[in-house]
Structure 1
């Protein structure tokens, strides 16, 4: 991840980071990245781990998909709140994770995050954290508390994180693409902290908003709901045939739709390869 970030910063590009729920997601995301000739991040959220009942099977599958790709692929554990999952990620060899201690008080958040950073760095693993409140978890789209540049700088210094997700107007799980980001705040935070910024809730941001965010300093762009939307639409079209029962006949079109959208978004975020 550190190498991808350095390359993206040099190119003024955004790194596309896409959430994986099932194997077809991972295959479609990498196919889209190969078509666009751009690196990509495969993300596994704690919610997805809970859905499958364990981290190892899907994580190992994603690592295998990444290993055989013709572009650089990083497998990342996203929004993990439990230290047992952090330990599992390190044991499995995942190179990157996002630790979310936002439910704790500020002091406890700093202490817990610093502890995870020390443990992860000892294993050579890149750590992202979040400061501020990006709305939309559990279906809630209330505006969150925006990240303050001075607090972001202090948080990074105190925890030693490698990247920071910030609250600048986006919201998780949006089905519409009409979120308005605070470009000025993005630029202020980018100038205040020495680590790359991460945009969560990017599915709700229109294309021009994503481009502006990257130009103002956002580096890693997380996308989940947008891929689920295009996959679901393709599956619904396929299942219009009442005699269709083979999952490959409807999940295959869903996977292809994911590949198309990933290729489009990666090219949008990085007009030239890096």
Structure 2
């Protein structure tokens, strides 16, 4: 199947009252697992590659992007390719040549005025090339290289009035907001502010994005989608499933040296995790 645009998947989910999940790709096995999970769930999904993943691969975007795109095209599920948490202008400019149809440009570490300026420039550049652009307002903690941050601390969460002004000033196509989740959580104990999600949905004309969804319990994710969240980002949950299976296999088979022996069950565990998250996002008929 041909790659589908992230914007198309998000728009369709929004109209249907559904969510669409975006899963982080670090290795080829991640991409294969996302495709397999989407096929098992009979749901669309987004394969997203973060700037941190690109850095892990020596700063080379093209090889991982080409592999993820090839997996997506070979899948029977509708899949999109998205470049996530981009802070580097150089990486932003590499997105379109590498086959991405969408980018999350992340200037959220900057003061508000600087965030607006940088994001508006990224949006202007991206739209000229047909890119769908997501941005972030508020402070979703847990990012690599960032300071420790309490998701419930005063001033962390996204203000609806400021979010409306930000969208108008930048022209972004979707907005990631801080509503109580945090990146890189390995336990699912996040408590979302569903009232704030509803107020943001009323104030902001573009789709809302929930980052750090790995740490959000199932019922909270369902409620978040019902309240107005559309794009649901999941990363750490896949890594938890992957690493757990590798540990278990090597503990039971200490003499194994062929990585295929433990990568297969690890990939299957990630696929089950993908299918589970996708099952949470479909509004009941």
1:128 to 107, 130, 134: 134
CA distance in 2, matches of 1:71, 1:242: 37
Deviations 1:159-213 (A, max 9, x none): 0000000000001111110110000000000110110000001011000000000
Counting only pairs closer than 5 Å after superposition, residues 1-274 of structure 1 correspond to structure 2 as 1-53=6-58, 54-138=60-144, 140-143=148-151, 145-240=156-251, 241-270=253-282
Given that 1:141 and 1:174 are in contact with CA atoms closer than 8 Å, whether structure 2 keeps it comes out as no
Given that 2:185 and 2:212 are in contact with CA atoms closer than 8 Å, whether structure 1 keeps it comes out as yes
The offset of 1:243, in angstroms, is 1.3
CA distance in 1, matches of 2:117, 2:207: 21
CA distance in 2, matches of 1:93, 1:251: 27
- The 10-residue stretch of structure 1 (44-53 or 133-142) with the greater mean CA deviation from structure 2: 133-142
The Cα RMSD (Å) is 1.3
Match of 2:3 in 1: none
Given that 1:38 and 1:266 are in contact with CA atoms closer than 8 Å, whether structure 2 keeps it comes out as yes
The offset of 1:20, in angstroms, is 0.7
The offset of 1:105, in angstroms, is 2.3
CA distance in 2, matches of 1:251, 1:167: 34
CA distance in 1, matches of 2:109, 2:182: 17
Given that 2:185 and 2:214 are in contact with CA atoms closer than 8 Å, whether structure 1 keeps it comes out as yes
The offset of 1:133, in angstroms, is 0.3
The offset of 1:56, in angstroms, is 0.9
The runs of at least 4 aligned residues of structure 1 exceeding 4 Å deviation read none
Given that 2:61 and 2:98 are in contact with CA atoms closer than 8 Å, whether structure 1 keeps it comes out as no
CA distance in 2, matches of 1:86, 1:44: 12
CA distance in 1, matches of 2:127, 2:88: 17
Gaps of 5+ in 1: none
- Partner SS state of residue 128, structure 1: strand
Given that 1:201 and 1:223 are in contact with CA atoms closer than 8 Å, whether structure 2 keeps it comes out as yes
Given that 1:199 and 1:220 are in contact with CA atoms closer than 8 Å, whether structure 2 keeps it comes out as yes
CA distance in 1, matches of 2:8, 2:143: 30
CA distance in 2, matches of 1:152, 1:137: 21
CA distance in 2, matches of 1:14, 1:48: 24
Gaps of 5+ in 2: 1-5
- The 10-residue stretch of structure 1 (33-42 or 65-74) with the greater mean CA deviation from structure 2: 65-74
Given that 2:16 and 2:283 are in contact with CA atoms closer than 8 Å, whether structure 1 keeps it comes out as no
